[in-house]
Structure 1
Amino acid sequence: MENLKDQYKSMTKVFSVAPMMEWTDRHCRYFHRLLSARALLYTEMVTAPAIIHGDRDHLIGFDAAEHPVAQQLGGSDPAQLAEATRICADYGYDEINLNVGCPSDRVQSGMFGACLMAEPDLVARCIEAMKGATSLPVTVKCRIGIDEQDEEQALDILVDKVLDAGCDGLTVHARKAWLQGLSPKENRDIPPLNYDRVYRLKQRLADVHVAINGGVKTIEDCQLHLQHVDGVMLGRAAYQNPALLAHVDSALFGEGEPVDPFAVAEAMIPYIDRHVARGGRVSQITRHMIGLFQSRPGAKRWRQILTVESVKPDAASSLILDALAALR
């Protein structure tokens, strides 16, 4: 498969799983990779200062099986972002993404995330610095606007500036973020979706990779969006119902048959064993697998075993086989 930069240049269709704080950690990504070979996986957002000064192996370490995988950065200091980009590139990531969309209070106080929609010149300087630090694709994930911004004008201004700075691709969450008046949770659902705005952006920028995010819940949704844009990103739907990912390669890329979720669950056993041998806990992995058999007979017992048994001091990977027995 061609590398990401070539895919973006050739407008190859891309499916991805969104960066989600406290969700898309390395264990989640390893699990998701077993369900889809084609999905582009994103890390949780990590701030540039944390990468520069923190425990890098803990913050940005990953398994080689996760490729292709992108590191999402948070920050607004061009020099810090350039240094963090170099570090992540040395770790072997396939893409570096700048977060210009997260609406949480914490990111506003730290001057990163969606509040940067109001600072397009600063975002452009950040992208220019990041591009100067790596040959990897550097991309932006943003909203269509914030607060009282005109979403037609604000999105175009931001996008044009980051493209001039060398940005390789865009993922647009098709909602405004209301930084005044809505909580981060409310910002995921209450602002109305405006997919047409993202479609118009793509129509204007025929030679730019544009992906869409926000409210995408099914493979059928993905197929519809891919008629208008180059990429589609699933967030909560992919996490809460990971069996969706088992159909990505076959339904979106015409490759093989849907992946067997039973086989995926069994394939996680040696991974769990390795994690436990290093001193980790079973629950750190199984928490990501709870939704794998959503709506199937026995799914309640599967969830119960993974939730209750995995936190016990003597928990081992054998609980996966016990939980699977409840489904068969």
Structure 2
Amino acid sequence: MSRQPYDPATHGLSVAPMMDWTDRHCRVFHRLLAPHARLYTEMVHAQAVIHGDRERLLGFDPVEHPVALQLGGSDPGHLAQATRIGADWGYDEVNLNVGCPSDRVQAGRFGACLMKEPALVADAVAAMIAAAPAHVPVTVKCRLGVDEMEDYEVFRAFVDGVAAAGCTHFVVHARKAWLQGLSPKENREIPPLRYDWVYRLKRERADLRIEINGGLATLEQVQAVMPEVDGVMIGRAAYHEPYRLHLMDRALFASTLPPRTRAQLLESMRPYVEDCLSRGIALKHQSRHWLGLFHGQPGGRLFRQVLSEGAPRAGAGWSLVERALEATRTG
């Protein structure tokens, strides 16, 4: 697949960065499902980018474009250096995480707790923009607030401060986060969704690109919010039931082509899979991202079972995938 020119104004569908899930093998699969979507890496701390194994942390397949690097951190100098490195590696966008509520990010003073430090976020974003080439936008993914923050004007002031530093593109998870008392999973489910705040922000700050994230799982839900914002970001629904992502891409980008079947999509992964196998990358590292492809379909449970049990075994190869597909035809 050839690289598409990256235009933030036209990429209205994206797949959220998800820790332990959206690795390079997942992203290659998602690119096959959604040729027009913007993909994100897992969050990588700026210090890891600077000092860690960059091939492991930053390496990606050219087919993934447009792909964004999401950074965690709060030190403007470190974030600027990591941004420059990410741009040198060929990422199309660098995104700052101001939304993750886990204990680990709180201990490191990054993620959602930065919603309480708008001046620091603005300084970090300004440093990142200064370090990035003009063709690599710096964006922010945030929440509506944290803990006791219940005021729309406070949320808008946060956005305004970061926008004044040069950021024009915000992905808003339409919930606030509780930093104490709720797990990351609960923070994705318990705080109420407030799409109206995001819609209002877009109306009042029409010059900013505003995307919405949170609770969007079906094509109908996505189509309902699209008129109010500039784009939608899909998270766990795209991972657990990846065929939905394919249907969204087809519908949103007015493709004249009918959706491909689940089997056709997976069979198209064969060249990539066999290349990985030839380089010693075990099948299990790739197949774990496909397990929900036949969710709710005849033979879907057996498909998942064949892959789950067989892929970790030494020597597992494409023939196992063929057996799993056969299960969907006979199950």
TM-score range, shorter chain: over 0.9
Report what 2:159 is aligned to.
159
| Cα distance in structure 1, aligned partners of 2:26 and 2:143 | 25
2:45 is matched by which residue type in structure 1?
T
Q: Which amino acid aligns with 2:319?
A: S
Structure 1 counterpart of 2:322: 321
Give the corresponding residue for 1:296. Answer: 297
Measured in 2, the distance between the counterparts of 1:25 and 1:266 equals: 20
Query: Of 64, 68, 73, which residue of structure 1 is paired with 2:62?
Result: 64
User: Residue 250 of structure 1: CA displacement?
Assistant: 2.2
Q: Is the 8 A contact 1:249 1:258 kept in 2?
A: no
- Tell me the number of residue pairs that the alignment of Structure 1 and Structure 2 aligns: 323
Q: Determine the structure 2 residue equivalent to 1:26.
A: 24
CA distance in 2, matches of 1:180, 1:158: 21
1:15 maps to what in 2?
13
**Secondary structure at the residue paired with 1:211?**
strand
Structure 2 equivalent of residue 189 of structure 1:
189
1:2 CA displacement:
5.0
Deviation at 1:13, TM superposition (A): 5.5
Deviation at 1:114, TM superposition (A): 0.1
Contact 1:75 1:81 in 2 (8 A): yes
Verify: 1:143 aligned to 2:139, yes or no: no
Displacement of 1:58 after TM fit?
0.2
Is the deviation greater in 297-306 or in 274-283? 274-283
Q: 1:245-303 CA distances to partner (integer Å, 9 max, x unpaired)?
A: 11123211102322332111112222122112212111000000000011110101100
Distance apart, 1:236 and its partner CA = 0.4
Name the structure where strand makes up a greater proportion of residues: 1
Equivalent residues in 2 for 1:161-176 (5 A)? 161-176=161-176
CA contact (8 A) 1:38 1:248 kept: no
Partner of 2:240: 240
The one-letter code matched in structure 1 to 2:50 is: I
User: What residue is the counterpart of 1:230 in the other structure?
Assistant: 230
Equivalent residue number for residue 177 of structure 2: 177
- For residue 208 of structure 2, what is the amino acid of its counterpart? V
SS in 2 for 1:212: strand
Mapped to 1, the partners of 2:11 and 2:314 lie a distance apart of 45
Alignment pair present for 1:3 and 2:6: yes
**Cα shift at 1:313:** 1.0
Structure 2 letter corresponding to 1:258: P
Task: After TM superposition, give the deviation of residue 219 of structure 1 in Å.
Answer: 0.9
**Alpha-carbon separation, structure 1, partners of 2:261 and 2:7:** 27
1:38-62 Cα shifts (integer Å, max 9, x gaps): 0110110000000000000000100
**Deviations along 1:101-130, whole A, 9 cap, x unmatched?**
000000001111000000000000000000
For residues 59-98 of structure 1, what are the structure 2 equivalents within 5 Å?
59-98=57-96
Q: Secondary structure at the match of 2:311?
A: helix
Q: Return 5+ residue gaps in structure 2 as ranges.
A: none
- 2:206 maps to what in 1? 206
Q: Gaps spanning 5+ residues in structure 1: where? A: none
SS of 1:44's equivalent?
coil
Give the TM-score, by structure 2 length: 0.95
Which position in structure 1 is the counterpart of 2:268? Answer: 267
Alpha-carbon RMSD across the aligned residues, in angstroms, is 1.1
Instruction: Tell me which moved more, 197-206 or 147-156.
Output: 147-156
Large movers: runs of 4+ above 6 Å = none
